[in-house]
Structures are given as C-alpha cells and as structure tokens.
Structure 1
C-alpha cells in the first residue's frame, strides 16, 4: 500500500484532459469576494466544491488551498483522492448533479491533519512543492472557477471515511502590486480625458519623473509616491499618496486658475466693494483670479472706484487716500 500511495502521489500534476464530474454542486459562500479575501467551504465524498480566485484578477498570482482532513479520513489514508478541474461546464449551479472539466491535479488524501495545494495562474510561476504542499498545473484566470471533488480510489471505503467532512480554506496569493487611478479635473470640476486639449497645458511628474496622463488604472509597487502638476497656465499642485498591495487608490488633482494676492488699506469706517460685493477687508488678504475687477470704496456719501486688472501670480496693494492708488510688485 505504501508503494501504491507513493506512486499515485507522483501523479499529482497530471496531464490536462476533460472528464465527467458527478455529484451535488457546492458553491462556496463569499468565493467571489475581492480585496484579498479568503473563504472556507465544507465538502464531503462525491461532492463538487466550486472555487473562485477571490480577488481582483490583476493582483493574483495563484490560490492556496488548505485542506483540513477529518480524523475519520485519516484512519484509512489513500482510500480517497482529491481531484481539481478547470474549464468547468456548464455554469456551476447548486441544482446541478454533473459537470465536465479539465483535470489538472490528483492526490490521494495523505495521513495528515492538513495539507496545502497551490494553484498557479501562470506557467512561469515560482511556486515549489514541500512535504505538505503540492503544486498543480497552471490554471489561467479565464479557466476559473475550478472544481474540487473527493472520490473513492479504493473499494474498501469505511463508514467513517464516507461520512467525513473536509474543510477547504481558499486564499488568493497576491502579487506585490497595487493600482492607481489618476484623475485630473478642470477648473469647473469636470474630469479630463487623456485626449482633452487641456492636458497639453500641464506636466505630471511622479517622484520627479515625467508621467503621461491616462485614465487607465496603473499597476504599481506598494509604497509612498509623490505626484506633482506643473503648468504655466494653472497653479502648481503636489501631493503624496500611498499604494497598498491588492488595492486601487484614487488620486485626484485639480486644475486651478492662478490667483493673485490683493491687500486693501483705507481709513477707518470705509466700506469696500469688490465686483459689486461688500467685503470685510481689515487686516485681510484676498486672492483674485486673473482679469479685470471693479474696486469701490465708500466713506459716508463719498465713493470712489477704479478698475483693477489682475495678472497671474502678481501681488497688489490697493490703498484709499484722497484717491485710489494701485501698486504692483
């Protein structure tokens, strides 16, 4: 028996071929969850458990199955086999009692409290088997979901083995990557497309390197990054953001028209109107966008007004004496 078990174990990574799979279908609850979620499913002999990769496909390089073997099955090792299939048809549903799939893995249940099965998503993976970990043939993302079933491989199946319930914990193996969704809004708050003419008005830099604006999410290594928006037309902007493994972070920048600082001084009791609106100017600085603005001071029944043409990134001192004087620096 030991020789037979060892021989069958050597066939763990089998050639892919389609087979009929019979038994009630069990859909793992929460198996389609995202964001690095793990989940568990319970399966018995001749039941079919349907497993998804359980995370954003871009961040997954494989899934790991932790199979907990109940005591009733450990008493008679090698009598049950674990089979794994990809390209399962038809679409699995709990009411079904038969499926077809391409077998990619077979293993006699060992005499162990638990063992692990790693399912890589690419052929050029780095996963290696150990004493309690087995590696299957690659299952590309489009071949999911996969099906796992437990079938007798010996005629001598005890009542304990037939009634045993196996717990399978499924965990996505995450790549060391996150993603960034970059948004640049125009001065009115509208998100710019990569083809917008306004994109020509600014340069983006990521950690000092020029970055081409795109609405596509960009895969990046986890860590802290600094992004800057530089422009001759708009205000410069800079912010720091973090990228987490398996997550998408949204980074938003806003195009802002450059504004100039205007300081007002006037005798006590004078009222100030800027563009027709009364403002409290005492000991305050104001920012105004480029363009022409109307300035009106009123003291009692006397008022005097002047037009102020504001140029980008220049500061102004507006004072009321006998008249309004404007100084530009």
Structure 2
C-alpha cells in the first residue's frame, strides 16, 4: 500500500506542470493574511483547497509564510497526502466553488514531518533567504492575482477512514520588509501659499509625495528652500510602521530680538522701536541699532541675512571694590 502511494506521488511530480489542468476539490476554504506579523489559521480536510488572500496594502510585505500542520496518521502513511500550489487559477475562487482550472507550479508531500513551512516571495526586492527548514517557492503571478491557491489531495487509494477524515491546520502570515514609511506633511506660514522646497534624507534628495520607504533606524531629514528657513529633524523608523513628520515652515525674513532695560529708547536705522518685546522684522543688509538708557547711549551695527534671527542685549553691572 505504501509503495502504491509512492507510485501515485511520482505521477503527481510528473504533472507539476507544463499545462493547465481541470480539477475538483471537496471544499474551498478562505484564509486572509493580515498586514501585521501574526498568524491567521484554518482547519481543512484532506481533499480541500485553501485560498490565501494577500493583504490589500502590500507596502511593507515582501512575502508570505505558510505553515501546514498534519496529524500523526498522515506521517504514518508516508507520502499519502500531497499538497500543491497553483497559478493562473480560474474561475475566481470562492467558498461556493469546487471546480477549477490552473497550472500546478509545485507539489510535495509531508514524508515523516508533522509540519511544513512554505515561504513565497512577493516583491522584486525581497530578501527572503532559503534555508533548510522551509520550502522556498516562487509564484510568478501571485501578487497580480491577489491570492495563493493551495490544494491538498489524497495521493493513494485504499486509505482508512482515520486518514481520509484527518484535519490539516493551515496558517499564514506576511513576511515583512525591514522598512517603514516616512510621511512628511508641510505647512506654509499663516496666510501664505506653499512655495517650492527640497527634501533630503540622509543627504539624498528624495520626493516626499506619497511617503518615503526607509530602512528601520534613525534618519536625518533636511528641508531647504529659497523661501523658508532650513528645517532639520531626526526621525526613527520602525518596521512596517508609518512615521508622520509635520513641518511648519518659518518665514525667511531676518528678525531682531531686543533684550534691554525697561524704559530704554531703541532706534533701528534712526526709526524708533515702539515695542521692543516683540520680534522685529528687517531686511538683509547693514543696520544700525541705537539704545539709550538714561544718560547712556550705545550704538551697534549688524549685517542681517535671510533665515537668521539676531539677539541684541544690553547688560548693566555694578562693581563693588574696597579701599583702606
């Protein structure tokens, strides 16, 4: 009986597969793979199929990991149950359908293993590594069709009820990229329209529209413009998460801030300053600042440039000395 099972499996290997085949399953089961790194599972029969729906948002997904667990009876009947992966499936699978046509891209059995791990890359830049503990399988149109079609079937005749009625556990989870997304939201100064700017991440010019996919870890963000002050930020990117960065642009006009004693008289370019507790806008170029405190007069000059604030302060001190 076991030899017969091996002969049937050898035939299945030969049919994995250069042409589309028509086949029927006992039941179609649906299993969704969420975007989070966690398992979703379903229990299926020996002759069932499982439709593993891919996440709608594939931004952070580089592949799918499928874990199949079988009861001991399956391993006792070596190579008695086969599993297959298909592409070009039609019609569109649903829980109400059992008849399909598709191209078998891989077929295998469980031999003496109680579980089987399958890893399927889903992106061109996938860095999923092949290893000795899982089966690495590429399915060319998986992301395009939006699902993985997994089929089970009894690969031998004459099996007892315990085997034919056995249940198989199928679970799936996405394999996430070691990346996150940075979304930069910019806002112009109040009452103005947004003007051009350039964004750099780690010194590289990037287009922030729609978000920027970055490796996990810390990144330096620099935004420069001829119309706004430069903005520098450091952000931390977490795996498969979105980091939002809000930038409120500041006017490039140079500003003067005065720190002077109460009651002082202040003149900038001979124009009296009415309220020296507020920031005072000015224009680029040379300026003369005169501060009068009682009988004392102080005159300073500064050369203003766009994007810089200037603090002008007056300090008064009393010196105490002793004499004999």
**TM-score of the superposition, structure 2-length normalised?**
0.70
Matched, 1:24 2:38: no
Report if aligned partners of 2:85, 2:104 keep a CA contact under 8 Å in 1.
Answer: yes
SS in 1 for 2:104: strand
Alpha-carbon spacing, 1:189–1:165, altered in 2? closer, same or farther (3 Å): farther
Q: Distance in 2 between matches of 1:117 and 1:99?
A: 23
Name the residue aligned to 1:177: 179
Q: Distance in 2 between matches of 1:102 and 1:149?
A: 12
Name the residue aligned to 1:85: 86
Structure 1 spans left out of the alignment, 5+ residues:
193-197, 269-280, 292-309, 320-329
Matched, 1:46 2:41: no
Matched, 1:205 2:206: no
Q: Deviations over 1:184-223 (max 9, x none)?
A: 222249996xxxxx21xx443322x252444033322222
Name the residue aligned to 1:322: none
SS in 1 for 2:95: coil
SS in 2 for 1:160: helix
Name the residue aligned to 1:62: 63
Mapping 1:2-21, distance limit 5 Å = 5=6, 8=10, 11=13, 14-15=16-17, 17-19=19-21, 20-21=23-24
Q: Distance in 1 between matches of 2:18 and 2:147?
A: 16
Q: Distance in 1 between matches of 2:99 and 2:191?
A: 54
Alpha-carbon spacing, 1:118–1:238, altered in 2? closer, same or farther (3 Å): same
Matched, 1:249 2:250: no
Report if aligned partners of 1:13, 1:105 keep a CA contact under 8 Å in 2.
Answer: no
Q: Distance in 2 between matches of 1:187 and 1:173?
A: 42
Range that drifts further, 244-253 or 38-47: 244-253
Q: Distance in 2 between matches of 1:190 and 1:37?
A: 46
Which residue of 264, 272, 278 corresponds with 1:286? Answer: 278
Q: Distance in 2 between matches of 1:190 and 1:8?
A: 73
The Cα of 1:151 is off from its aligned counterpart by 0.9
**TM-score of the superposition, structure 1-length normalised?**
0.69
Name the residue aligned to 1:307: none
Name the residue aligned to 2:319: none
Taking only aligned residues, the RMSD between alpha carbons, in angstroms, comes to: 3.8
Report if aligned partners of 2:68, 2:170 keep a CA contact under 8 Å in 1.
Answer: yes
Q: Distance in 2 between matches of 1:15 and 1:101?
A: 10
Mapping 1:1-329, distance limit 5 Å = 1=2, 5=6, 8=10, 11=13, 14-15=16-17, 17-19=19-21, 20-28=23-31, 31-54=32-55, 56-121=57-122, 127-128=129-130, 130=132, 132-140=133-141, 141-188=143-190, 198-199=195-196, 202-207=197-202, 209-258=203-252, 260-263=255-258, 266-267=262-263, 285-287=277-279, 313-315=308-310
Q: Distance in 1 between matches of 2:209 and 2:97?
A: 42
Q: Distance in 1 between matches of 2:38 and 2:140?
A: 19
Q: Distance in 2 between matches of 1:180 and 1:63?
A: 24
The Cα of 1:243 is off from its aligned counterpart by 1.9
Q: Deviations over 1:244-263 (max 9, x none)?
A: 23333333322111463444
SS in 2 for 1:57: coil
Q: Deviations over 1:145-190 (max 9, x none)?
A: 1122211111122211111111112122233333323332222499
Q: How many residues align?
A: 277
Q: Distance in 2 between matches of 1:67 and 1:110?
A: 13
Report if aligned partners of 1:49, 1:149 keep a CA contact under 8 Å in 2.
Answer: yes
